[in-house]
Chain A
Amino acid sequence: MKKRPSLSIARFWAIIIKEFIQMRRDRLTFGMIVGIPVVQLMLFGYAINGDPKHLPTAVLMADSGQYSRTLLSALKNSDYFRFVRQIQTEAEGEAALARGEVQFVINIPENFSRNLLRGEKPTVLVEADATDPSATGNAIASLRTLIAAALVNDLKGPLTYLAGSDGPVALRVHARYNPEGVSQYNIVPGLMGVVLTMTMVMITGLAITRERERGTMENLLSMPTRPLEVLLGKIIPYIFVGYIQAGLILVAARFLFHVPMAGSILLLLLTTSVFIAANLAMGITFSTLAKNQLQAVQMTFFFFLPSLLLSGFMFPFRGMPEWAQIIGEVLPLTHFLRIVRGIMLKGNGAGEVLLQLWQITLFALIVLAIGVKRYRKTLD
């Protein structure tokens, strides 16, 4: 029997040295290895906040008495609510909620001050957009205390009795769109966007780098073809792949998680194609920038991370600082989440959807333009 060769420190060392040299040569990969944890730290450390405050709130004031004004100014000074505007009709409040412009509509009824003085415990109605239950929970919990504390200064002396043990006013909260606060209703539709972002960007991210690595790019470039033909030609087939994924998630949403479908599924599917195309365009543009497949995968991850964390999928969008929200507004996933949740839970129609869709379209066009510009027609 032959003796097996023993482990050699020299060979082992040779491999170590080679790996270090190769690591040093691939600067971008090395940069990403350093960059990704930094971005993760920034996002998790600064951008994410599970207890969102300053939630936009509209107030419908049917009463102009003293106590309703006190209430309004208390709201304006509160941590959880950010007064954005006063509205005139319930329909206006409804629309603002559907578009996602406000998280709450607070309805102070007619004769609020008079009824309060009469000890009739007037009812303050709060309509909350509860698609994401975690965004509204704490704010609603604080509301009762807020109202009582606001009125305590006004209700002094002979009026003290009105403040009573269970407060001077009754509070009724309507958790709209997701009354039971089922978090799956929020997460499952959102997952559709997350899965599409991840896979679509990756698929086309590899498209050009693969041609380059396999040597087929030289051949492709020697043929009479335009960059747009190549890029669009590589995008379109994967829209079908995206639809398969979207279909799977929608079926699961319906039959496994029983997520309601309040709006039109056709509208949702139409919108999805734009979103898929935007992600594919992002991927193909990464592909024109990356030198090899590994770099393309890393760029995908670099894009996916903020998409996941800043879009409002994992954490309430409104809980983030302004800079994070600005980044979030650029990402297609942010707008797609609003669309999916809007259609499935709120029953939004084309009007509300278009408000978000144009931003996804703009993103896709800009990114594709960069890709076309960056696509090298020569091997230089």
Chain B
Amino acid sequence: MTDNLVIDVRGMTKSFGDRTVVNAIGLQVRRGEVYGFLGPNGSGKTTFIRMLCGLLAADAGEGSCLGFDVIRESDLIKRQVGYMTQRFSFYEDLSIAENLDFVARMYGVSNRRDLVKESIERLGLSGRQKQLAGELSGGWKQRLALAACLIHNPQLLLLDEPTAGVDPKARRDFWEQIHELAGQGLTFLITTHYMDEAERCDRLAYLSYGNLLTHGTVSEVIAHGRLTTWSVTGPELNELARRLRGIEGVQQAVAFGSRLHVSGTDAAALEKAITPLRLEPYKWQQIGSGLEDVFIHLMGNSKDNF
């Protein structure tokens, strides 16, 4: 069973000065899995990923990544990992083909020319391969970056907010490609802020200020949150939310478009708390808690260390 774990680390810790950015995080990711990494900005997602691929030296921690020691063998890990950075980090003054060729040479792949050509064709950029990477739009840059990360045929892809600033259509295409590749046995660790993307992951982990708060499949994470949620529609929801937040038993009242989600961990206390407010013209309905309700709840309970 353990050989099936692509990432198996424990106690990974990293501090900058006296600020602990990643606090003793352990993570197990199976082969062929799409693992979602969620959490607010500054929660340590990027730092954790950088430690996995040897870009940052961990202060403490142990375990393996792709069967190599995560602390000592980062050079070997790098060969089989594709890391897509949050900000586009290929050369804007090189063309698409030149960027891919550079990466292919860096990893010393055999049949480099064919791979680069294939990669460009798969991207659908055959006619534009001489275009400079800097001239591409956000969506195309993201596709190029993914293609470049794949060129050396890695076993594990670490994608740091790959869809930030990308339009919905491109995002959907991107996720289709991810699942297709995962079907071929590639493993993904992806950070994201989007709930729809989180729901497309096989399993999730939620980080907040360096601590791993919860992990598991989507339904496990929701069940683990033990949250009861009511949805309300009606006029002046802001005013209603303000009143609800002051009542015992209501832990959060969050606007979701034209609806308000009112949640609490104690179902009975919550029901009691909202009873006086269940008046016309408001329409109340108990619903199953969503991922977002759970995450907002988790975030509210953890303390900011900045």
Inter-subunit contact B83/A222 (CB<8 Å): yes
The answer to the question of B85 belonging to the interface, with a C-beta cut-off of 8 Å to chain A, is yes
Chain A residues 137 to 189 lying within 8 A of chain B, measured CB to CB, are none
Inter-subunit contact A222/B53 (CB<8 Å): yes
Contact of B78 among A215, A216, A217, A224 (CB under 8 A): A224
Inter-subunit contact A222/B91 (CB<8 Å): no
Q: How far is the CA of A219 from the CA of B53 in the complex (A)?
A: 11
Contact of B106 among A214, A215, A223 (CB under 8 A): A223
Q: How far is the CA of A290 from the CA of B189 in the complex (A)?
A: 33
- Distance (whole angstroms) from the CB of A146 to the closest CB of chain B: 64
Q: How far is the CA of A179 from the CA of B251 in the complex (A)?
A: 96
- Distance (whole angstroms) from the CB of A214 to the closest CB of chain B: 7
The answer to the question of A378 belonging to the interface, with a C-beta cut-off of 8 Å to chain B, is yes
Contact of B103 among A221, A223, A379 (CB under 8 A): A223
Inter-subunit contact A224/B75 (CB<8 Å): yes
Inter-subunit contact A215/B85 (CB<8 Å): yes
The answer to the question of A218 belonging to the interface, with a C-beta cut-off of 8 Å to chain B, is yes
Write out the residue numbers on chain B whose beta carbons fall within 8 Å of the beta carbon of A223: 78, 103, 106-107
Q: How far is the CA of A224 from the CA of B53 in the complex (A)?
A: 10
Inter-subunit contact B89/A224 (CB<8 Å): no
Q: How far is the CA of A377 from the CA of B55 in the complex (A)?
A: 7
Known: A224-B106, A379-B50. A216 touches B90 (CB 8 A): yes
Inter-subunit contact B88/A218 (CB<8 Å): no
Inter-subunit contact A380/B57 (CB<8 Å): yes
Contact of B55 among A215, A218, A225 (CB under 8 A): A218
- Distance (whole angstroms) from the CB of B110 to the closest CB of chain A: 15
Interface size class of A (residues with CB under 8 A): 10 to 19
Write out the residue numbers on chain A whose beta carbons fall within 8 Å of the beta carbon of B91: 216
Write out the residue numbers on chain A whose beta carbons fall within 8 Å of the beta carbon of B90: 216, 219
Inter-subunit contact A378/B106 (CB<8 Å): no
Inter-subunit contact A378/B54 (CB<8 Å): yes
Known: A216-B89, A224-B75. A378 touches B103 (CB 8 A): no
The answer to the question of B98 belonging to the interface, with a C-beta cut-off of 8 Å to chain A, is no
Inter-subunit contact B78/A222 (CB<8 Å): yes
- Distance (whole angstroms) from the CB of A224 to the closest CB of chain B: 4
Inter-subunit contact A378/B57 (CB<8 Å): yes
Write out the residue numbers on chain B whose beta carbons fall within 8 Å of the beta carbon of A216: 89-91
Q: How far is the CA of A216 from the CA of B87 in the complex (A)?
A: 9
Contact of A224 among B50, B56, B88, B107 (CB under 8 A): B107
Inter-subunit contact A215/B89 (CB<8 Å): yes
Q: How far is the CA of A214 from the CA of B94 in the complex (A)?
A: 13
Chain A residues 180 to 235 lying within 8 A of chain B, measured CB to CB, are 214-219, 221-225
Write out the residue numbers on chain A whose beta carbons fall within 8 Å of the beta carbon of B85: 215, 218-219, 222
Inter-subunit contact A219/B57 (CB<8 Å): no
- Distance (whole angstroms) from the CB of A228 to the closest CB of chain B: 14
Inter-subunit contact B55/A379 (CB<8 Å): yes
Inter-subunit contact A225/B57 (CB<8 Å): no
The answer to the question of B62 belonging to the interface, with a C-beta cut-off of 8 Å to chain A, is no
Inter-subunit contact B50/A215 (CB<8 Å): no
0/1 interface trace, chain B 238-275, chain A, CB 8 Å (1 if under): 00000000000000000000000000000000000000
Write out the residue numbers on chain B whose beta carbons fall within 8 Å of the beta carbon of A380: 56-57
- Distance (whole angstroms) from the CB of B245 to the closest CB of chain A: 37
Q: How far is the CA of A214 from the CA of B85 in the complex (A)?
A: 12
Chain B residues 97 to 141 lying within 8 A of chain A, measured CB to CB, are 103, 106-107
Inter-subunit contact B88/A215 (CB<8 Å): yes
Contact of A219 among B54, B89, B107 (CB under 8 A): B89
- Distance (whole angstroms) from the CB of A221 to the closest CB of chain B: 6
Q: How far is the CA of A343 from the CA of B40 in the complex (A)?
A: 66
Known: A215-B88, A222-B83, A223-B103. A378 touches B56 (CB 8 A): yes
The answer to the question of B202 belonging to the interface, with a C-beta cut-off of 8 Å to chain A, is no
Write out the residue numbers on chain B whose beta carbons fall within 8 Å of the beta carbon of A217: 89
Write out the residue numbers on chain A whose beta carbons fall within 8 Å of the beta carbon of B81: 222
- Distance (whole angstroms) from the CB of A367 to the closest CB of chain B: 26
The answer to the question of B171 belonging to the interface, with a C-beta cut-off of 8 Å to chain A, is no
Chain B interface residues toward A at CB < 8 A = 50, 53-57, 75, 78-79, 81, 83, 85, 87-92, 103, 106-107
- Inter-chain pairs besides A222-B53, A222-B54, 15 sampled, C-beta below 8 Å: A214-B89, A214-B92, A217-B89, A219-B83, A219-B85, A219-B90, A222-B78, A224-B78, A224-B79, A224-B107, A225-B106, A377-B54, A378-B55, A379-B50, A380-B57
13 sample A-B contacts, Cβ–Cβ < 8 Å, listed by A number: A214-B92, A215-B87, A216-B89, A217-B89, A219-B85, A222-B81, A223-B106, A224-B75, A224-B106, A225-B106, A377-B54, A378-B57, A380-B56
Chain A interface residues toward B at CB < 8 A = 214-219, 221-225, 377-380
